[in-house]
């Protein structure tokens, strides 16, 4: 038992050390703009195209459900225009970034871990090195930058879609007028609601892609190793994303 | 000149290389033979710094590889072409882009890159395959693209990791001819890692056998063919123990 705890502790410390080493390698590769510059644009397109449908789909249904649940909670106690407040605040501050982030951890993080893991076990990463490319410049920086820059864009669109479907649900299902919904939406709105959600999603994007790349490049073994890395990337990303979510709430909302 | 100087490497506490010492002279092709898992590929990867030794080093033209900083290592890699066992082509790129990748890194102009691609693919008999994707190629063709990618860089050294493994006898013979032709055409120093003795006799000037982490015997092809060492004899004749 004690031995197992000791082993786990050593493994955890090693993992933190590997992460630190990985991030410092990333910093060292940053000046190599000639390599990662063009590739980042390609990755931004890929991350955007891959992620947008699933993020918008989730946001659309979340908006409807939020409106209906708010109405269920408020009826008879709180004026119904607060439905707009709840839909807007919740989408911007929490559900937009977090639900999209979790969905994208599965979509983007897993796909990066599988792609880089396959490259690793088929010696494509070694081949890059022998061609005098730094895998950090060629593979990691473009993906991490793409995730960091594109996630806020995707989440912004998801928030808009969520609010729009919440508004439609209020009009059609709750007999709320547009004026009432917008009144609720504006009621406690602060600009911080917008930047907080988008800033948070940028950190989610950075974390998900960083974890996907690190786990992918650490792959050992054949197809089984790639499968293990893919699962690991999704689990680690999802856990870190929720920890980060709590961290930013603690730091920025108090 | 490439010198393996008392090279040690272990994985998870299990020694793979236990003091490999070997000199590869300029202009020659050295073939390293040995059983599967004997550490041949591990030794080869130390030459380009893909693996870091536990002790000892590989010295290329007086430069100890393990002691090089990142810039020095990339400088060294620009002089070495590496042909991987399963070609290690980039799946998402066409044949031409695979060959061009290393050339772009060297900052060559696009017209020179196009010329080098054409020349390299012609040398491996793959003219016209520029736009094909790796998934559309046979195993032998993939390996030939791997060679084209390496020779397009016009390296001083060419390292081949199991170039004929997994190929039928005819395609293996074609690969052997290709390695000989490449050497004649470019005059490069080569190291070929293989357990295919027919290939070793065809492409090698000298043969070294790696056994239990050390070089068991090294010598010209004719000398190895006449060896009295029972371990080397058993391996080259393919006799079970």
**pLDDT tens-place string over residues B144-191:** 999 999 999 999 999 999 988 878 888 888 889 888 988 888 889 999
Mean pLDDT within B18-46 = 94
Per-residue pLDDT at B200:
93
- Tokens at residue B53, please? 């030794």
Confidence of residue A65 (pLDDT cuts 50, 70, 90): very high
Residue A122 forms contact with B (CB below 8 Å): yes
Expressed in angstroms, the distance from the first to the final Cα of chain A is 40
Q: At A216, give phi and psi (nearest 5°).
A: -60, -45
d(CA B229, CA B226): 9
The β-bridge relationship of strands B14-24 and B2-11 is: antiparallel
d(CA A232, CA B201): 47
Q: For residue B12, give how far its alpha carbon lies from the nearest alpha carbon of chain A (Å).
A: 13
d(CA A184, CA A88): 8
Mean pLDDT within A215-220 = 94
Mean pLDDT within A138-145 = 96
- Tokens at residue A35, please? 């390599």
Per-residue pLDDT at B175:
84
Q: For residue A124, give how far its alpha carbon lies from the nearest alpha carbon of chain B (Å).
A: 5
Residue A165 pLDDT > 90, yes or no? Answer: yes
Residue A48 pLDDT > 90, yes or no? Answer: no
Mean pLDDT within A221-244 = 93
Per-residue pLDDT at A155:
95
Per-residue pLDDT at B168:
84
Q: At A206, give phi and psi (nearest 5°).
A: -65, -45
Residue closest to A114 by CA, chosen among A235, A225, A22: A225
Of A122, A123, A131, the CB nearest to B105: A131
Mean pLDDT of chain A: 92
Residue B85 forms contact with A (CB below 8 Å): yes
- Which of A208-222, B12-26, B227-241 bottoms out in mean pLDDT, i.e. has the lowest? B227-241
Residue of B nearest to A132 (CA): B74
Q: Do A131 and B102 touch (CB under 8 A)?
A: yes
Domain residue extents for chain B: 2-237
Q: Dmax of chain A from CA atoms?
A: 71
What string of DSSP letters covers chain B?
Answer: -EEEEEEEEEETTEEEEEEEEEEE-TT-EEEEE--TTSSHHHHHHHHTTSS--SEEEEEETTEEGGG--HHHHHHHHTTEEEE-TT----TTS-HHHHHHHHHHHTT--HHHHHHHHHHHHHHTT-TT-TT--GGGS-HHHHHHHHHHHHHTT--SEEEEESTTTT--HHHHHHHHHHHHHHHHHH--EEEEE-S-HHHHHHH-SEEEEEETTEEEEEEEHHHHHT---HHHHHHHHT---
Buried/exposed A140-178: b ≥16 CB within 10 Å, e otherwise: bbbbbbbbbbbbbbbbbbbbebbbebbbebbeeebebee
CB atoms within 10 A of CB B141: 20
Phi-psi map region of B11: left, alpha, beta (phi>0 left; psi -120 to 50 alpha):
beta
Residue A141: partners with Cβ closer than 8 Å, 6 or more residues away: A26, A29, A30, A32, A36, A40
Mean pLDDT within B46-63 = 95
Residue A213 pLDDT > 80, yes or no? Answer: yes
Residue B70 forms contact with A (CB below 8 Å): yes
HEC sequence for B24-82: ECCCCEEEEECCCCCCHHHHHHHHCCCCCCCEEEEEECCEEHHHCCHHHHHHHHCCEEE
Per-residue pLDDT at B4:
95
Do residues A109 and A234 touch, judged by C-beta distance below 8 A?
A: yes
Residue A60: partners with Cβ closer than 8 Å, 6 or more residues away: A161, A162, A165
The β-bridge relationship of strands B157-161 and B80-83 is: parallel
Per-residue pLDDT at A1:
82
Residue A229: partners with Cβ closer than 8 Å, 6 or more residues away: A113, A114, A117, A215, A216, A218, A219
Half-sphere exposure (Cβ direction) of A137: Cα atoms closer than 13 Å: 18
Of A122, A132, A134, the CB nearest to B86: A122
Mean pLDDT within A103-111 = 91
Confidence of residue A74 (pLDDT cuts 50, 70, 90): confident
Per CB-CB distance under 8 Å, the chain A contacts of B74 are: 132, 134
Mean pLDDT within A203-215 = 95
Per-residue pLDDT at A24:
87
Per-residue pLDDT at A170:
94
Residue B241 pLDDT > 80, yes or no? Answer: no
Do residues A130 and B50 touch, judged by C-beta distance below 8 A?
A: yes
Q: Do B91 and A129 touch (CB under 8 A)?
A: no
- Tokens at residue A173, please? 């299902």
Helix (H, G, I), strand (E, B) or coil at A118: helix
d(CA A146, CA A79): 43
Per-residue pLDDT at B56:
94
Per-residue pLDDT at B233:
93
What string of DSSP letters covers A171-204?
Answer: HHHS---HHHHHHHHHHT--HHHHHHHHHHHHHH
Residue B41 pLDDT > 90, yes or no? Answer: yes
Confidence of residue A23 (pLDDT cuts 50, 70, 90): confident
d(CA A213, CA A120): 11
d(CA B193, CA B82): 11
CB atoms within 10 A of CB A79: 12
Per-residue pLDDT at B10:
95
**pLDDT tens-place string over residues B63-120:** 999 999 988 999 999 999 999 998 899 999 999 999 999 999 888 999 999 999 999 9
Expressed in angstroms, the distance from the first to the final Cα of chain B is 36
Per-residue pLDDT at A250:
94
Per CB-CB distance under 8 Å, the chain A contacts of B68 are: none
Per-residue pLDDT at A154:
95
Confidence of residue B139 (pLDDT cuts 50, 70, 90): confident
d(CA A229, CA A233): 6
Per CB-CB distance under 8 Å, the chain B contacts of A127 are: 82, 84, 88-90
Q: Do A124 and B102 touch (CB under 8 A)?
A: no
Cβ-count burial of A212 within 10 angstroms (0-12 exposed, 13-18 middle, 19+ buried)?
buried
Per-residue pLDDT at B194:
93
Confidence of residue B48 (pLDDT cuts 50, 70, 90): very high
Q: Hey, which residues does B63 pair with through a beta bridge?
A: B60
Confidence of residue A50 (pLDDT cuts 50, 70, 90): confident
Q: For residue A87, give how far its alpha carbon lies from the nearest alpha carbon of chain B (Å).
A: 43
Mean pLDDT of chain B: 92
Per-residue pLDDT at B2:
95
Per-residue pLDDT at A12:
83
Q: List, as ranges, residues 40-69 from B with C-beta within 8 Å of A.
A: 45, 48-50
* CATH T-level topology, domain B2-237: Rossmann fold (3.40.50)
């Amino acid at each position: 038992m004690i031995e197992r705890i000791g082993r786990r502790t050593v493994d955890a410390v090693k993992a933190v050390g590997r992460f630190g080493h990985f991030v410092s390698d990333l910093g060292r590769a940053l000046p190599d703009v000639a390599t990662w510059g063009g590739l980042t644009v390609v990755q931004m397109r890929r991350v955007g195209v891959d992620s947008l449908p699933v993020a918008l789909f989730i946001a659309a249904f979340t908006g409807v459900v939020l409106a209906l649940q708010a109405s269920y909670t408020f009826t008879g106690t709180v004026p119904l225009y607060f439905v707009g407040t709840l839909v807007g605040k919740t989408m911007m501050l929490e559900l937009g970034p977090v639900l999209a982030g979790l969905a994208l951890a599965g979509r983007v993080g897993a796909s990066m871990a599988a792609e880089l893991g396959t490259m690793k076990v088929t010696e494509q990463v070694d081949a890059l090195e022998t061609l005098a490319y730094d895998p950090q410049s060629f593979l990691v920086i473009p993906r991490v930058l793409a995730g960091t820059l594109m996630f806020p864009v995707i989440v912004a669109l998801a928030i808009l879609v969520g609010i729009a479907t919440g508004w439609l649900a209020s009009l059609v299902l709750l007999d709320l007028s547009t004026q009432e919904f917008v009144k609720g939406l504006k009621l406690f709105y602060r600009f911080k609601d917008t930047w907080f959600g988008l800033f948070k999603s940028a950190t989610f994007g950075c974390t998900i892609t960083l974890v996907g790349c690190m786990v992918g490049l650490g792959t050992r073994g054949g197809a089984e190793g790639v499968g293990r890395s893919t699962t690991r990337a999704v689990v680690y990303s999802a856990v870190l994303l929720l920890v980060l979510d709590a961290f930013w709430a603690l730091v920025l909302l108090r | 000149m490439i010198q393996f100087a008392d090279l040690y490497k272990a994985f998870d506490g299990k020694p793979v290389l236990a003091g490999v010492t070997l000199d590869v002279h300029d202009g020659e092709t050295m073939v390293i033979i040995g059983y599967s898992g004997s550490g041949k590929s591990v030794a080869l990867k130390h030459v380009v710094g893909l693996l870091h030794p536990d002790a000892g080093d590989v010295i290329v033209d007086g430069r100890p590889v393990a002691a090089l900083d990142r810039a020095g290592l990339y400088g060294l890699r620009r002089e070495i072409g590496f042909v991987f066992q399963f070609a290690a082509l980039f799946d998402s790129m066409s044949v031409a882009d695979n060959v061009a990748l290393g050339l772009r890194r060297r900052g060559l102009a696009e017209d020179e890159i196009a010329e080098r691609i054409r020349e390299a693919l012609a040398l491996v008999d793959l003219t016209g395959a520029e736009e094909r994707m790796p998934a559309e190629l046979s195993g032998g063709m993939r390996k030939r693209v791997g060679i084209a990618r390496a020779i397009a860089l016009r390296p001083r050294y060419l390292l081949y990791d199991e170039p004929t493994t997994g190929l039928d006898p005819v395609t293996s013979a074609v690969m052997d001819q290709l390695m000989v032709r490449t050497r004649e055409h470019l005059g490069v120093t080569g190291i070929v890692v293989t357990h295919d003795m027919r290939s070793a006799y065809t492409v090698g000037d000298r043969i070294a056998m790696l056994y239990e982490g050390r070089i068991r015997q090294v010598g010209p092809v004719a000398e190895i063919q006449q060896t009295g060492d029972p371990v080397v004899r058993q391996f080259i004749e393919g006799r079970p123990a």
